[in-house]
Amino acid sequence: MSTTKKNSNNKSKTPKPLHNRIAVTLDKPETVSAGGIILPATTFKSGTEGIVIAIGPKVEQIKVGDHIKFGEHAGIEATANGLDFLIMRESDVMIIL
C-alpha cells in the first residue's frame, strides 16, 4: 500500500516559493513596433521585468501582482502546471515599478 498522497487539485495551483523567494512570470516584449515593423527576437535582452505570481512566507516588501525589475542573471527558470516562471530571492529585485 502506497503512502504517497496525491493532490487532484494540483493543476490549478500556483507554485508556492519557500523562505524569502518569489515566483515571477516574465513580461513578453513587443514583437511589432508602433509603426508595424516586426522586431526579431535577437534584438531583446533576456527578460529583466516581470509580474510576481507567488511569494514565500518570509518576503517582506514585495506583494503578489507587483511589476518588478531584476538583474539579467537573477533567478532560475522553472515550469509547474504548464506555467513558465522564474524563482528568485527577494534581494534579487532591483525596483518595484
Q: How many domains is the chain built from?
A: 1
Identify the band that residue 2 occupies on the pLDDT scale cut at 50, 70 and 90: very low
Residue 6 in any domain: the answer is no
SS3 50: strand
Residue 7 in any domain: the answer is no
| Per-residue buried b or exposed e for 67-81, using 16+ beta carbons within 10 Å of the residue's own CB | ebebeeebbeeeebe
Q: Given this model, what pLDDT does residue 92 score?
A: 95
Give the global pTM: 0.71
Identify the band that residue 56 occupies on the pLDDT scale cut at 50, 70 and 90: very high
| Per-residue buried b or exposed e for 6-26, using 16+ beta carbons within 10 Å of the residue's own CB | eeeeeeeeeeebeebbbbbeb
> How far is residue 63's CA from residue 52's CA, in Å, rounded to a whole number?
7
Residue 8 in any domain: the answer is no
CB of 50 within 8 A of CB of 25? yes
Range of 41's domain? 15-96
Residue 58 in any domain: the answer is yes
Q: What is the mean pLDDT of residues 41-64?
A: 84
Residue 9 in any domain: the answer is no
Q: Given this model, what pLDDT does residue 65 score?
A: 95
> How far is residue 88's CA from residue 17's CA, in Å, rounded to a whole number?
9
CATH number of the domain bearing residue 53: 2.30.33.40
Identify the band that residue 41 occupies on the pLDDT scale cut at 50, 70 and 90: low
Q: What is the mean pLDDT of residues 28-55?
A: 73
Amino acid identity of residue 32, one-letter, is V
Residue 4 in any domain: the answer is no
% the chain with pLDDT above 90: 51
**pLDDT at residue 43 is higher than 80:** no
Residue 91 in any domain: the answer is yes
